[in-house]
């Protein structure tokens, strides 16, 4: 088959996404925007409005629990993770020091944290959240949690597919519901 267009290929996806993310972070125009920014598999920018008050409240509540229940690692808000579909910004993460040392390249984690938490916003779709869950697992996460709009936590473990479990394996004392 002949090539119709003479265009470059993405030979090293990790290098491509890290370079593109560095460009995005260095762009003074983008830095002034209030929006949250991610990239997709082609390096294109995806912009989302900043989270609302109730989203931030649920995020803060989970953050406080993780700090208390898992003090031996790092609890992070708004963490950039390299995935096969570009750089994604997880709402919250918990990561061990060892994984941080192995996976941190600049300001991006090239290995997902052990725990990735998404706080569901009103405009999220099932497909979007399932896709993020799959991307985080593919990038190395051990657990993905979703916090719904009523404050209920939904736990998923690596290798468990789309089957929800009753509790976190890494943080079994985490409550199943937080103040919303």
Contact of 150 with 124, CB cutoff 8 Å: no
Check which CATH number belongs to the domain holding 94 and give it: 3.90.1570.10
Q: What is the mean pLDDT of residues 72-77?
A: 96
Q: pLDDT digit string (tens) for 53-69?
A: 999 999 999 999 999 99
Q: pLDDT digit string (tens) for 127-177?
A: 999 999 999 999 999 999 999 999 999 999 999 988 999 999 999 999 999
Q: Indicate whether 119 and 147 sit together in one domain.
A: yes
Q: Indicate whether 55 and 30 sit together in one domain.
A: no
pTM of the model: 0.91
Total domains, the chain = 2
Residue 114 belongs to domain spanning: 51-165
Q: What is the mean pLDDT of residues 43-52?
A: 90
In a domain, 173, yes or no: no
Q: Indicate whether 61 and 146 sit together in one domain.
A: yes
* Encoded tokens for 113: 């944290």
């Amino acid at each position: 088959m002949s090539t119709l267009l003479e265009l470059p290929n993405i030979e090293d996806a990790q290098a491509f996404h890290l370079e593109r993310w560095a460009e995005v972070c260095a762009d003074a125009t983008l830095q002034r925007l209030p929006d949250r920014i991610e990239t997709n598999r082609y390096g294109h920018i995806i912009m989302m409005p900043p989270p609302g008050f109730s989203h931030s409240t649920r995020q803060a509540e989970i953050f406080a629990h993780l700090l208390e229940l898992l003090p031996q690692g790092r609890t992070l808000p708004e963490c950039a993770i390299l995935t096969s579909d570009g750089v994604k910004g997880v709402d919250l993460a918990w990561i061990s020091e060892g994984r941080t040392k192995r996976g941190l390249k600049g300001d991006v984690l090239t290995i997902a944290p052990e725990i990735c938490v998404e706080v569901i916003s009103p405009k999220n779709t099932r497909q979007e959240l399932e896709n993020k869950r799959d991307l985080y697992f593919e990038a190395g996460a051990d657990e993905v949690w979703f916090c719904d709009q009523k404050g209920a936590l939904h736990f998923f473990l690596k290798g468990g597919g789309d089957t929800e479990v009753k509790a976190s394996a890494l943080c079994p004392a985490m409550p199943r519901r937080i103040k919303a």
